[in-house]
Structure 1
Amino acid sequence: MTLHHVSYGDGTPVLALHGWTPDHRLMTGCLEPIFTDLPGYRRLYPDLPGMGQSPAGDIDSSDGILAAVQSFVDEQIGAEPFLLIGESYGGYLARALARERPDQVLGLSLICPIGTVVENADRTVPEHVVLRSEPGVVESLTEGEDFTELAVVRTATALAAYRKDVAPGLAIADTAALDRIERKRRLSVDPESGPVWTRPTLIVCGRQDSITGYEDTYVLLPHYPRASLAVLDVAGHNLQLEQPELFAALTREWLQRVADDAQGLPQPPTSG
Structure 2
Amino acid sequence: MDLFVRDTGPLQAPAVVFLHGGRVSGWSWEPVIARLPGYRCVAPDLPQFGKSVALGPFRIDRAAEAVATSIRSRFGTAGVHLVGYSLGAQVGIDLLAREPALFASAVLCGTFVNTLPLVQPSARFVGALARTAWSRRLVSYLWNARPLEVAANRTADYREDMRLALSEDAAQIVSASAGFTVPDGLETSEVPALFITGAGEPWPAHRSAGELARRMPRGVNAVAAGMRHDWPLRYPELFSRTLRCWLTNADLPSQIAVR
- Give the alignment's TM-score, normalised by structure 2: 0.71
Describe the SS at the equivalent of 1:257.
coil
Tell me by how many angstroms 1:14 deviates: 1.4
Tell me by how many angstroms 1:58 deviates: 5.3
Question: What's 1:7 paired with?
Answer: 7
User: Does structure 2 conserve the Cα–Cα contact (< 8 Å) formed by 1:92 and 1:114?
Assistant: yes
235, 241, 261: which is aligned to 2:227?
235
Tell me by how many angstroms 1:231 deviates: 1.2
Question: What's 2:127 paired with?
Answer: none
Equivalent pairs, count: 224
User: Does structure 2 conserve the Cα–Cα contact (< 8 Å) formed by 1:205 and 1:214?
Assistant: yes
Question: What's 1:160 paired with?
Answer: 149
1:7 corresponds to which letter in structure 2?
D
2:198 corresponds to which letter in structure 1?
G
Provide the rounded CA distance (Å) in 2 between the counterparts of 1:204 and 1:103: 22
User: Does 1:45 find its partner at 2:43?
Assistant: yes
Question: What's 1:214 paired with?
Answer: 206
Question: What's 2:98 paired with?
Answer: 100
Provide the rounded CA distance (Å) in 2 between the counterparts of 1:191 and 1:50: 22
User: Does 1:226 find its partner at 2:215?
Assistant: no
Provide the rounded CA distance (Å) in 1 between the counterparts of 2:74 and 2:159: 25
What is the percent sequence identity of the aligned residues? 21
70, 82, 85: which is aligned to 1:72?
70
C-alpha root-mean-square deviation of aligned residues, in Å? 3.3
Question: What's 1:32 paired with?
Answer: 33
Question: What's 2:82 paired with?
Answer: 84
159, 173, 178: which is aligned to 2:170?
178
Tell me by how many angstroms 1:228 deviates: 3.4
User: Does structure 2 conserve the Cα–Cα contact (< 8 Å) formed by 1:61 and 1:183?
Assistant: no
Describe the SS at the equivalent of 2:101.
coil
19, 22, 25: which is aligned to 1:20?
22
2:162 corresponds to which letter in structure 1?
A
Question: What's 1:133 paired with?
Answer: none
Structure 1 segment 46-65 matched on structure 2, within 5 A: 46-57=44-55, 59=57, 61-65=59-63
241, 246, 249: which is aligned to 1:249?
241
Provide the rounded CA distance (Å) in 1 between the counterparts of 2:144 and 2:170: 23
Cα gap change, 1:241/1:195 in structure 2, threshold over 3 Å: closer, same or farther? closer
Question: What's 1:129 paired with?
Answer: none
Describe the SS at the equivalent of 1:109.
strand
Deviations 1:194-227 (A, max 9, x none): 4433332222211112496323211112223433
Provide the rounded CA distance (Å) in 2 between the counterparts of 1:47 and 1:251: 21
Higher alpha-carbon deviation: 99-108 or 175-184: 175-184
Tell me by how many angstroms 1:168 deviates: 4.3
Cα gap change, 1:184/1:235 in structure 2, threshold over 3 Å: closer, same or farther? closer
User: Does structure 2 conserve the Cα–Cα contact (< 8 Å) formed by 1:206 and 1:231?
Assistant: yes
Provide the rounded CA distance (Å) in 1 between the counterparts of 2:195 and 2:58: 28
Cα gap change, 1:104/1:173 in structure 2, threshold over 3 Å: closer, same or farther? same
2:4 corresponds to which letter in structure 1?
H
Tell me by how many angstroms 1:43 deviates: 0.9
Deviations 1:140-174 (A, max 9, x none): xxxx674465x5xxxxxx85259869944633537
Q: When you count helix as a share of all residues, which structure comes out higher? A: 2
2:36 corresponds to which letter in structure 1?
F
Provide the rounded CA distance (Å) in 2 between the counterparts of 1:3 and 1:214: 31
What stretches of structure 2 of length at least 5 have no aligned partner? 124-139, 251-259
Stretches (4+) displaced over 6 A: none
Provide the rounded CA distance (Å) in 1 between the counterparts of 2:245 and 2:56: 40
Describe the SS at the equivalent of 1:35.
coil
Describe the SS at the equivalent of 2:100.
coil
